[in-house]
Structure formats: C-alpha cells, structure tokens
Structure 1
C-alpha cells in the first residue's frame, strides 16, 4: 500500500480550517447564514476597491510579461522543448475555458443585465448592448489574467528553478529558503482554502442547475434535500474518476464534455438567428474593447450601485479563489513554452471560445425574449437563475433532447471540476508531489462535496458568494506578491542569460595564440573526448575537492551513455549548481550539393548548466582556465539564487549571518 505523502503543516492546517467551517455550518446553519451576510457586507464595503485594483494589476502584469523582454524566457531550461504539440496544447487550454459557470450563466447573466441593467433602460436596444458588454467584461481578459499569473508563477519556478509545484514557490525570489517555513505554509493553506471554497461554489451552481433541469424534465422537486443527495451522488462518481487516475478519468471526461458542449453550441447557432448572432459577436468584441479600461476601474464611486457587489466583485473573488485550480492545470501542460507563448495562448485562446459561447446563448436568448417570448423568458430568469438555460431551450427545436444534453453536460462538468480540483488541492497539500495515494485525493474530493452541501444548506446562492469573496481576500495579497516574485526572478535570469559568459564563450579570456591554434585545428570527436576525460575532469575534481574542504557538498558525476562529466553542488530548496562538459556536434554549412550529402561535423566540448543557460565551447582551455570559468559560473549562481546578505539580513550582527 502506498504511504501517505503530505506536507503536515499545510495538510492539517487547511483541513482543520475547512472542517471547523463545515462543523459550524452543520450545527448552526442559521447562525452561519447571518454571519455570511455581515461578512459579505463588510468585505465588499471596505475592500471592493482592492479587488478591482488588484485584478487590473494582474491583467497588466500578465500582458507586460508577454510583450516585454521577459517573453523570451522559457518555462524550463533554455534548451527544453514543449511536452505537447502546439495544437494539442491549444486544445487543452481551450478545454480549460469550459466549466459549470459557462453553463449556469450563459443565458442567465445576459438576460439578467438585459431586464435589470445597472444604468440604461431595461429591455431596450441599449440594454442588449450593455448586457453583452458586462458579460464579456466578467468572463474576459480579467479572469484569464488572474489564471495566467498563478499558472505562470507555478510553471516558471517549478520548471526553471526545480521548485515544487506549489504556490509558495512563486515567492522564492522574495523569501528564499524561508518559503519552507511558516510563511510558505500559510500561503499554501490560503491557496487550498480558497480553491476548496471556489470549487464548492462551482459545484453549488452546478447542483442548483442539475436540480432545476431534472425538475423541468421529470418534475423532481427543487429542494435542499434533493440538492444534497445530488452532491453526494456526483461526488461518488468523481471519487471513482479520481481513483482511476488522471489519464483515464479526467482526460476521458474532459474530452467527452468538450465535444458535447461544442455540439450544443453549434446546434443553438444553427437553429437560432445565425446571421444576427455572428453580427452580434463581432460587435460585442468591439464594444468590449472600447469600454475595457473604463470598466476595469469602475466602482460606481460617484453613483453607488449595489449591483457591482453582486456581480463584478463576486466574479473577481471567484476567479481569484479558482486560480490555483486553473493555474495548476495550465502550468502542468506548459513546460517548455516561452513566457510569450504562454501569456498569448492563455489570455486569448479560451477567451475567444468563451466570447463565442456567451454570444450564441446570450444574444439568442435576448432575441427570443423580444421577438417571440414577449418578456416571458426574462421573467422566468428573474424568478430563478438556475432554470434559465432550460427555459431558453424550450423555445428551440428538440427541446427535450437538448435539455437532457444540458443536464448531462452540467453533471460531467461537476464531476471533472471535483475530480481535477481534488488533484490540485492534493498536490499543494503534498508539497508539490503528484504521485500521491488515491486516498488523499478521495479525501479532498469528499471535502469539496461536503463544503458545497453545507454552503447550500447555510444560505444557498448568497452563502456560496460570501464564502468565495471571503476566501479570495488573503489570496489576492499572495497573488500580488507572486507578481513581484516573477519580476524579480525573471530579471535575475535575464541578467544571467544576457551576460556574455553565458552566450557564446567561456567566462575566461583565452590567449590569442591559443585561440588561433584552435581555429586552425578543428578537433575531431576523439580530441573532444580526450579533453573531457583529462583536462575537464581534473579541473572539476579540483573544484569539488575545494568545495568539500569548505564544508559545501560537491560530487563529480559522469553519464556513462553520453560521456558528460559534471560538477554538482546540491542546494536545499532550489536548483543545484551544475557545471557540466559534454561532447556536442553540429553540421557545418554545405557549399555544394555533394557536401550536403556528406555533411562535415564540428565537435565541441560544450558546457551544461542547471538553469538552462546556453552552453559554450571550452575546448582548448587549460586546467587552470577551466577552473576559473567554473568559479565565475558558481559566483553567478550564488548571485542569482541567494538574496544579498545586506538585503536579506539587514541589521543582523555578523555572527548571526549564515556561512
């Protein structure tokens, strides 16, 4: 039996907080509901500005990382290649854009803003434009900007710094080894609690819609008892998916649901007012871009409206609490991509599909309400948001079939959200480990279902919103620190990569006569291997011996297959120092067709580093010159992975400083 793999302070700390909440909700649902009401009012009145400003910062930072010089950095070593083909990677990002939220709000949100807009006249042409503008704003760049920051931080420090895939790793440039202490534990606990409540919110929306759909199809009563039973049943299915593993469980369910969702969307596009929908889609994008900056910072400070608290601020908190889940997913599939590729794809690939989805359902619903239903659809949505999709489908052909398909879609989204969410939470609770016992994932899967049930019993939709808003507040602060950590880490890496020593030549100046001799004599493979076996090995061994004398562990490793010899100095919590020398060969330019059929090879003794910096040829260096080059690279490594003593230990007495 596989042993438990947990980070005890994080696992038990997060579990304790969530269990206290669950116990309180089960024992005193009315008291918890009153507490939620007060808590939501206080947070939104005092910190609404903070949510708006923070999310705008996240979008700005994500775009800056993509278009600036940081964009050329890789999520992994510089010579790493993507784990997935571009088309497959884009398809998975496309799938990440789908979820219970799109099913629940696709008709409900545009219709709500259409019948009860915050500014313009209800059910007017201006209300239609405003409804889609607001919906695009809530589901647009701001949501994916949040996900991009968390995913970029996880991928960058996980794959480039060899740190665990946990939120705390993103704070390494700011805290160094202290990320393994109480501060790091607290960050991961915030992430777990926020993720669990965010997933529970999605599950709550999902079960409300499943209940409404079953009531519409079979007459099953809409009640909290039925909803709790549905949560238990779907959580059991999610548990079976968790036990089956990521490849067989989540992958099969996700692919199936994506096909079903696209099928439903294309059906609505085909049987609905197709030309009107496509025209509206283009215009909706233009209106969204035209109002992007104004809406990004609009808090209705001069004309207060409670509308923003129920919609925009709730959405921003929901996306923040949901971000470790989506961020972990997109990080795990993005190794080897450049920062620019990551930002562009994450921000715009799912966005395009989301906008099309919302236009197809939202604009069609408003068209039906004004041209066919004469306000009946808007009234039904206002009465019960969870039944919006099914009331909408009644006005289209084959409504009984599409309603069954919609219930199936929401159910499978429910399962995949719980399944994938439990894996993400388990990874964080296990200190970044991904090969954990199924029992741990089952625990978190059950916990998410229990939290969703308690929230529904303790106040329904209002309780779901309040829990999300409250849990997202501390994590928003963590995300701002992640932005700063990314900037610090990327700045340091760019400094190392752009240094002349790391581009095309060793960090030691070689005499001109030796360089000329090296140019005139092109070494063959035997020359390079002889250099590695003698000069390079002796130089690295000398440095290793001196490091050992100084109390720093160091070993000489040799790859029997490739012949690479390496000096490795292990480090705790960060990538090891590695200076390797190996045989590298590349083709020389061919001057004739015959040369091209028998290409000549140039052989080099190329350096290898742990951070992925591009190596260079050191063949021809003497033992002492190679030792000097190793020391230059070790000094650069120390600079990049350690905070300067004056900054990190400002004011500390000399005897308290670490050796």
Structure 2
C-alpha cells in the first residue's frame, strides 16, 4: 500500500462508491440530476466543444510537422517496446471498444431517420449524410482529441523525467506549485472518473449485445441474471489479463482482437455486397472530407434541429472525457517512438480502423435495409428494449454461415470490452501510484487488479441496477472542466518544449545529439552512444553545470 497516492486513490474510491450508492438508492433522482446537467452542458457549451474539436488539428499539426516531431519519448537510443502492429492494435482496441461494433451497424440508421442539414428522411441524400456522419463522429477529430493529452503527459514523463504519469503533472509548467495541492488532485480524480464512467458505460451497449447473441444462438432467455453473468465473465478475463501484465496479457489480447476484427470485416466484405460496400464507404468518406469544416462548426442556429448538440457535441464531450485516459495509456506503450509517430499513429491508425469498420458494417446493414432483407431502420425506430442489439444480431445472422459469424462477432465484442477495461485498470493504477521510476510504468499487480475488480463491480451495480443514462451523462458533464485542462496542458507543453529544444536544429534532435539528465536536456556535439568519449565528456559537462 506504500506505493499508492492516497490523495488520488482514496477520494476517487469514495466518490465512485458514494455515487454508486446514491444511484442505487434513488435512481430516479440521479437520472433527473444527471440529465439536467447533461442538457446544460451540451446546450450552453456546445460551441466550446466544437471549437476545441476543430482547433485540435492546429496543435497536433504543429507538434508533428515541425522539428519537435523528431523528439523521441525516452532516451535518444531507446527502441520501441512493442512492434508497430501490436502498438497500433493497442491504440485502436483501447480507444474504441465494443461500441464501434454496435454503432457501426446502427448509427447510420439513426441519422437516416432523423438526418442533419435539413435533409428529408429516407432519401438518397439522407443516406449519404448518414454514412458520412458516423465516420465523422468516430474519425480524425475523435482521435485528435485522444492525442492532445498524450503529448504533454508523455513529454513530462519521458523527457522531463517526472516520476508519475498524470495529467496534473503535465500542467506543472503553467500551474507550478498548485500542481501538488488540491487542484492537482482534483484534475487527476476528474480524469480517472471520466475514464471509468466512459469505458464502463460502453458495457451498457456490449453486454446486452452479447446476451442477445447468446439468446439467438442457444435460445437462453435474456434476463438480468444472464447480463450480470456476462459482466462477471468479461471482468474475469480482463482481471486475469491485468494480473499477467502488459506484455503477456494485454498486448497479446489486443493483437488477437485486431486479427478477429480484420477477419470478420474481410468476411463481410467478400461474401456481402462488395461493390455496394466499397461505393458507400468511398461516398461517405468523400462527402465527409468535402464538408469537414462545415460539419465541425455546424450549430444549426436557424432551425429547431438539435442534431449537432445531441450527436456531435455529445461525441466530442465523450472523447474529451476519455481522452486523458487514452493519453496516459498511450504514454505507457509509446516509449521509443517520436512525437510525430505518436500523433500520426493515433490519428491514422484510429481513423483508418473506424472508416473500415463503419464502412463495412454500415454499408452491409444499409444494403440489407434498403433491399428489404433486414429492416434496420424499422427496428431502431420501434424504440423496443435493446432494439439496437436486436438489429445487430438480425443483420449479422443474415450473412452466409450467419450463426458462426455471430459467434465470432460476439467473441470479438467480449475481447474489445476486456482490452478497453484492461487499459483503464492500468491507467487508474498508474495515476494513483506515487512513483513509477524504475518500474517500466508497471504498477503493482494488486493495484492493477484492484481497479479491474472495481470497474467490474461498478458496472454490475450501475449499469444493471440503475441504467446507463446517468453514467453517460456524468461522463459527458465531467468533460466540461477538462476542456480548460486540455488548454492548460497544451500551453504547458509548448512552454516546456521551446525551453528544452527551441535552440536546437531539427538535425540535432532527429540524430539524438542531446542528453536527458534529471529532467534537463543538454545538446552534445556527437550522437549519444553510451560508453563513447563524447557521451562521457557530455555527461561530465552536465554534472559540472549542476
């Protein structure tokens, strides 16, 4: 217990248990309060979320395409800990989760029923905007919002040699001594609360989906007991994975998940309406990029439509809430990579994966709907309990060998949930640890397992005894203060990187001609090779100057 930071660990535990208890005792009151807070945020501060989303590319573009993109996370001679595929798989599976399998089939249908931009429902134009918006909401802006906190957090840990991986520590160049006080603890608690709420909320989609699939395959009735049993099962999976550690557990699980996703998508593309899927995907992506600025800034001020508030603002707030968790997680797995690789890797890996999944799943579901094979829009519009899950099962089983594909699809969803919640458990353990120097960013096993179990307990208590809405609302509401934290972090990073590397040339940075000593960056006259005369001389020079 000595390694935990009580200023973060205990308040977060108390907050989670208190909120869970209140929701259990007064679910209606909790729903009313959180819904009101959600409405207040998206209606009154929707414009702010849109501005942050649109401007995120300016910050990341500066990082990636200037000399600072050559900065390597770690020592200049460090090599990446994970291969490119495993690294990309962990980025992708942690950042999305099972929700993309659900929304990949269903989201376009919601937009076709109630389309944006004043378009008539059910028309070809409505389908075009529907297939564009689902990729837009899960595409480059989402991954850009994930990447913003990654850069300052990783820089503070690997370059400035801070002993902890925290969002508050990344703000130190601006906050100064206040980082060590209540303000710093509040920032870290908000970060972890948003991460837990956001990722656990995904289970509210995933578990009923798995239950509906089991019902279709085995005839077992969908009950509360079945849902809880599924939640316990995946909790066991990710608890074991967390206990085994990152290299043995999560990296292998993430790679397996990526292979399963690619396999399922390839099968649907080949045996499904291949040309229709390709045409629909290209059309949607093209329309999205053609209208990217408009979609990023559309607030519908001259209509009664709440589409941008209820969908785009909601998603941007959601990604902001989960973004710090992703920043901490990507920091953990990105040692030895440059800032440019991190920026481009997150945005490109993530966006490409979402385009593929939304394009294939959405295109196939749209084809089945318009050809009268599976009435996806009708199922969604019915408002039936778990209508979305029913639509997914009906769509998947309309494929050749549908039951087999559904079984693989279900396993993929389970692993998606496990990898995402594994990542959260690691993140919570890292942030609530006092000092991670010498641990290779591996918190104690009991600590990681504690947060894995905590996530499982919260899921069972909140999602199935209370409902998903309040948890989602709290997650989005918690994103509002994080907007300002994001801004502070970006400013802190710019101040730090200009102070440390501003006087160096791009060639000096890219060739590793600098030393990192106690959080100080010192330029040397030749590449840093440990044991060489240049390295020894430079080290002595640094020691003499301190």
SS at structure 1 position matched to 2:160: coil
User: How far off is 1:400 after superposition?
Assistant: 1.0
Say if 1:227 and 1:314 are closer, same or farther in 2 by CA, change over 3 A.
farther
Query: Contact 1:582–1:607 (CA<8 Å) still a contact in 2?
Result: no
Write the distance in 1 (CA, Å) between the matches of 2:293 and 2:318.
Answer: 21
What residue in structure 1 maps to residue 361 of structure 2?
361
Residues 122-133 of structure 1: matches in 2 within 5 Å?
A: 122-133=121-132
Name the counterpart of 1:38: 36
Distance in 2, matches of 1:445 and 1:120, equals: 45
Alignment of 1:106-121 (within 5 A): 106-118=104-116, 119-121=118-120
Aligned-pair RMSD on alpha carbons? 3.2
Structural mapping, 1:200-215, within 5 Å: 200-215=200-215
Separation in structure 2 between the aligned mates of residue 501 and residue 293 of structure 1, nearest angstrom: 37
SS in 2 for 1:445: helix
Q: Verify the 8 A CA contact 2:12 2:189 in the aligned structure 1.
A: yes
1:352-407 C-alpha deviation (Å, 9 max, x unpaired): 1210111111011111111232x722212333122222111132111111111122
Match of 1:400 in 2: 403
Does the 8 A contact of 1:133 with 1:288 survive in 2?
Answer: yes
Decide whether the 8 Å contact of 2:71 with 2:509 is kept in 1. Answer: no
Structure 1: segments with no counterpart, 5+ residues: 507-565, 569-573, 587-601, 610-617, 619-625, 635-659
1:79 Cα deviation from its structure 2 partner: 4.7
- Of the candidates 104, 109, 115, which is equivalent to residue 102 of structure 2? 104
> How big is the shift at 1:4?
4.5
Higher mean C-alpha deviation, range 271-280 or range 170-179 = 170-179
The answer as to whether partners of 1:567 and 1:579 remain within 8 angstroms in 2 is no
The match for 2:24 among 26, 30, 37 is: 26
Shift of 1:169: 2.0
Q: Does 1:608 align with 2:542?
A: no
Is the 8 Å Cα contact of residues 131 and 281 (structure 2) preserved in structure 1?
no
1:364/1:579 Cα in 2 relative to 1: closer, same or farther (>3 Å)? closer
Of the three residues 391, 394, 401, the one matched with 1:391 is 394
The answer on whether the counterparts of 1:165 and 1:431 sit within 8 Å (CA) in structure 2 is: no
Q: CA deviation at 1:85?
A: 4.8
Which runs of no fewer than 5 residues in structure 2 stay unpaired?
none
Partner of 1:180: 180
1:260-304 per-position Cα deviation (integer Å, ceiling 9, x unaligned): 211111111011111222233333222111111111111222223
Q: How many Å separate the matches in 2 of 1:35 and 1:176?
A: 35
Q: Which position in structure 2 is the counterpart of 1:647? A: none
In structure 2, the residue matched to 1:48 is 46
More helix per residue: 1 or 2?
2
Q: Matches of 2:335 and 2:431 in 1, distance apart? A: 18
Aligned counterparts of 1:459 and 1:291: Cα–Cα separation in 2: 40
CA–CA separation in structure 1 for the residues paired with 2:507 and 2:67: 17
Deviation at 1:455, TM superposition (A): 3.4
Larger radius of gyration: 1
Residue of structure 1 in register with 2:497 after alignment = 490
Deviation per residue, 1:474-524 (Å, 9 max, x gap)? 2222112111111111221222435999999x9xxxxxxxxxxxxxxxxxx
Provide the rounded CA distance (Å) in 2 between the counterparts of 1:310 and 1:227: 28
Distance in 2 between residues matched to 1:88 and 1:234, nearest whole Å: 21
For the pair 1:414 / 2:417, whether they are aligned, the reply is: yes
Q: Please report how far the alpha carbon of residue 17 of structure 1 lies from its aligned counterpart in structure 2 after TM superposition.
A: 1.2
Contact 1:584 1:603 (C-alpha < 8 Å) held by counterparts? no
Summarize deviations over 1:575-601 as a string: whole Å, max 9, x none.
268899999899xxxxxxxxxxxxxxx
Q: Deviations over 1:587-616 (max 9, x none)?
A: xxxxxxxxxxxxxxx97576436xxxxxxx
Q: Distance in 2 between matches of 1:584 and 1:47?
A: 49
Give the match for residue 152 of structure 2.
153
- Answering whether residue 442 of structure 2 is matched by residue 443 of structure 1, we say no
Q: Which moved more, 1:264-273 or 1:203-212?
A: 203-212
Q: 1:232 maps to what in 2?
A: 232
Deviations 1:396-434 (A, max 9, x none): 111111111122111222222222211111111114634
Distance 1:72 1:323 in 2: 23
**Residue 23 (structure 1) shift:** 1.1
CA distance in 1, matches of 2:98, 2:469: 17
Does the 8 Å CA contact 1:114/1:366 hold for their aligned counterparts?
A: no
Shift of 1:72: 2.8
**Is 2:42–2:310's contact at 8 Å kept on the other side of the alignment?**
no
C-alpha deviation, 1:177, in angstroms = 4.6
The question of whether the paired residues in 2 share the 8 Å contact of 1:97 and 1:353 is answered with no
Measured after TM superposition, the shift of residue 206 of structure 1 is 1.3
| Mean CA deviation greater in 43-52 or 105-114 | 43-52
CA distance in 1 between counterparts of 2:292 and 2:7 reads: 42
Give the corresponding residue for 1:476: 483
TM-score normalised by structure 2 residue count: 0.88
- Indicate conservation of the 8 Å contact 1:380/1:391, yes or no: no
Distance 2:477 2:400 in 1: 43
Q: Secondary structure at the match of 2:119?
A: coil
Are positions 1:460 and 2:460 aligned together?
no
Cα shift at 1:24:
0.6
Structure 1 position 575 matched with structure 2 position 505: no
Partner of 1:17: 15
Q: Which has the higher contact order (CA 8 A, sep 6+)?
A: 2
SS in 2 for 1:76: coil
Matched with 1:536 is none
**Paired residue total:** 533
72, 75, 79: which is aligned to 2:73?
A: 75
Residue in structure 2 matched with residue 520 of structure 1 by the alignment: none
Q: What secondary structure sits across from 2:538 in the alignment? A: strand
- The verdict on how the C-alpha distance between 1:607 and 1:114 changes in structure 2, with shifts beyond 3 A counting, is farther
SS of 2:443's equivalent in the other structure is coil
Measured at CA, do residues 264 and 432 of structure 1 come closer, stay the same or move farther in structure 2, by a change above 3 Å? farther
The whole-number CA distance in structure 2 between the counterparts of 1:180 and 1:295 is 40
1:430 counterpart SS class: coil
Is the alpha carbon distance of 1:370 and 1:582 closer, same or farther for their aligned partners in structure 2, counting shifts above 3 Å? closer
The DSSP-based 3-state class of the residue aligned with 2:49 is helix
Aligned-pair CA distance for 1:49: 1.9
> Residue 43 of structure 1: CA displacement?
2.1
Q: Deviations over 1:53-111 (max 9, x none)?
A: 22223233112221234323332344544444555544544555552121111101012
Question: Offset at 1:198?
Answer: 1.0
